Amino acid sequence: MQRVAVLTEPDHVELEEREVPEPGPGQVQVAVRAVSVCGSDVHYYDHGRIGGFVMHGPLVLGHETSGVVSAVGPGVAAPAVGTRVAVEPQAECGRCEQCRRGRYHLCPDIAFFATPPVDGSFAQYVVIPAHRAHPVPDSLSDEAAALVEPLSVALHAAGKADIGPGTRVLVSGAGPVGLLCLQVALARGASAVVVTDVMALRREVAAEYGATATVDANDHDTALTAVGDVLGQADVVLECTGVQPAVDLAVAATAPAATVVLVGTGASVTLPLDVVQARELVVKGTFRYAHVYPAAIGLAACGRIRLDAMVTSHHPLEDAVGALLAARRDPLALKAVVHPTYG
């Protein structure tokens, strides 16, 4: 048997005993070492839904996951038992049009951890397709290996924007994903990266993580002027908040023919299509990631991305609620990590 933290309804988590899942053909079982809390986990805890993804029964949260392969199913040659892995928390059908075109993250039948009705990794053991269990070097901690998941979100977004040497980048929002987008943009050679946020403490953190400048986003006109003073106009905007004022500022700060990537999710927002058309802006959505986990692991392993520094609290599985509430208690909290098991 294993222990599992289960969200039975909004604001209520119970610790349950469940059967340990056994790996089937092509799968591995992973003993979970670290699960970092995502904003989506908190949103399910608060509201029981994110947009069209709605809880209709108990749900195990957690998808930013690392651990050790503890068993392998039939036909699995690698990774072997005992291998430390970062878990890419999705299993696609492999047969649909999106999968055949390489866009497996857009598979209509994808099973993604902690997205109803699929359980996540606030558990001692999970099973995953073997090719989604990515070996990590000893230089990466369990916590950093878990954070490969949100790093992959940032890498996918930066790839959508084609950030390269000399690119002027605006990152909207200095939360965990924004800080990862900042670091990825710098690693890809951006000439300047400005980060906006409404919270002074978050802006200070962004400066510590290498932002060329940070800008108070509370007043649109003042912020637009401040961004312009540093960038002139942005070639790329990575919008990581999903809130209307930030989207408005992001679009206003663009250069002609710039790319705006909508990374953050929230309520529906509107776009000033007159500006989009007049400047020939390219506006792109981004949803999770595909084909980037190995690159994310390599980038983290070479020291270009600060992952361990983003971990601000540690929690046993019994304190999963404490991990979910950590951001409410401390405005500087970035990543709470749940540790279901060791050994």
Rounded percentage of the chain residues whose pLDDT exceeds 90: 94
d(CA 6, CA 137): 31
Identify the CATH number of the domain in which residue 194 sits. Answer: 3.40.50.720
> 332 falls in which pLDDT band (50, 70, 90)?
confident
- The H or E element containing residue 51 is none
216 and 234 assigned to the same domain: yes
Contact 239, 262 (CB under 8 A): yes
* Together in a domain, 120 and 223: no
What's the pLDDT band for 170 if we cut at 50, 70, 90? very high
Residues 203 and 142 in one domain: no
Question: Within a domain: residue 296?
Answer: no
Residue type, 15: L
Residues 120 and 62: beta-carbon distance below 8 Å? yes
Tell me what pLDDT residue 343 has: 43
Residue spans of beta strands (DSSP E) within the chain: 2-9, 12-18, 27-36, 49-50, 53-54, 64-72, 84-87, 90-91, 111-112, 125-129, 133-135, 168-172, 192-197, 213-216, 234-239, 254-262, 282-285, 311-316, 335-339
Indicate the DSSP class of residue 62. Answer: -
User: Are residues 215 and 194 in contact, defined by beta-carbon separation less than 8 angstroms?
Assistant: yes
Structure tokens at 261: 């990537």
pLDDT for residue 230: 98
Q: Answer yes or no: is 229 within a domain.
A: yes
Please write the tens of the pLDDT for every residue from 48-63. Answer: 999 889 999 999 999 9
Token reading at 290: 């595909």
Confidence of residue 342 (pLDDT cuts 50, 70, 90): low
Is the pLDDT at 331 greater than 90? The verdict is no
pTM of the model: 0.96
For residue 40, give the CATH number of its domain: 3.90.180.10
CA atoms within 13 A on the CB side of 56: 5
Q: Which residue stretches of the chain are H helix?
A: 39-47, 97-100, 142-146, 148-161, 176-187, 200-208, 220-231, 244-252, 273-278, 293-301, 320-329
Q: Are residues 7 and 135 in the same domain?
A: yes
- Give the Å distances, CA to CA, from 190 to 145, 148, 155, 214: 25, 21, 14, 15
The domain in which residue 48 lies consists of: 2-147+307-339
Domain membership of residue 43 (yes or no) is yes
**Number of structural domains in the chain:** 2
Q: How far apart are CA 70 and CA 125, in angstroms?
A: 9
Please, are residues 39 and 62 in contact by the beta-carbon 8 Å criterion? no
In this structure, the answer to whether residues 274 and 322 fall within a common structural domain is: no
Neighbours of 75 (CB within 10 A): 10
pLDDT score at 318: 96
Q: Which pLDDT tens digit goes with each residue over 219-264?
A: 999 999 999 999 999 999 999 999 999 999 999 999 999 999 999 8
